[in-house]
Amino acid sequence: MAQSKLYALPELPYGYGDLQPHMSEEQLRIHHTKHHQAYVNGANAALQRLERARREGLEVDVKAVLKELSWNIGGHVLHTLFWYNMAPPGRGGGRPGGRLADAIDAEFGSFERFRREFSQAALTVEGSGWAALALCPLTGRLLILQIEKHNVNVAPTLPILMVLDVFEHAYYVDYRNDRGKFVEAFWSIVNWDEVEKRLGKVLG
């Protein structure tokens, strides 16, 4: 068998201190180097366990390993989206423009209404999870998803344009248990250019 590719932790597109005061250096560093890294390691470990079992003809608990793969790959993919849909204050924040603004107005009526629904989705995730903005290619309509854990309530193949991590590990250093304060702060560091770029890739 050829050498198989594994997952790797991506570099952040900014420095650890660059999202302050909305996200502290300590919070972002732990989140990226410990939590995200753990999903990368977990996905690779599961893949390697499967590879070894295939190579050596061993039995493997397929259900358990696939569950582990889904959780860890989901975590890796969503965190990568998350880092890129944020930008230092000044470059991030404000309001979307262009086609993204048009799509938001068409679906939600206004940016304010979208922001409120997305915040509500983030605030009401049971336990750990994400709020996500996606575009359904079948209808061309924007959809808000409320993802539980990293992999529950995800619509298969539906392209995600923007995510907000509301696992406690995403905000506990800065905001303790106040998820609402963290969700509010997120709007000051959204990288709308990146979200619009992703929309353009789907719309073509």
Spatial separation of the C-alpha atoms in residues 146 and 166, rounded to whole Å: 10
Q: CB nearest Mn ion: which residue?
A: 165
Q: Which is nearer to Mn ion, 32 or 103 (CB)?
A: 32
Spatial separation of the C-alpha atoms in residues 165 and 150, rounded to whole Å: 9
Determine the straight-line distance between the first and last CA of the chain, rounded to whole angstroms. Answer: 37
Q: Which is nearer to Mn ion, 135 or 164 (CB)?
A: 164
Shortest CA distance to 117 belongs to which of 178, 79, 164? 164
Q: Which is nearer to Mn ion, 30 or 101 (CB)?
A: 30
Q: Which is nearer to Mn ion, 77 or 199 (CB)?
A: 77
Residue 148 amino acid letter: E
Smallest gap from Cβ 150 to Mn ion, in A, equals: 9
Identify the three-state secondary structure at position 86: strand
Strands (E), 139-183: 141-148, 160-165
Which parts of this chain interact with Mn ion (CB under 5 A)? 35, 165, 167, 170
Smallest gap from Cβ 134 to Mn ion, in A, equals: 18
Smallest gap from Cβ 170 to Mn ion, in A, equals: 5
Smallest gap from Cβ 156 to Mn ion, in A, equals: 22
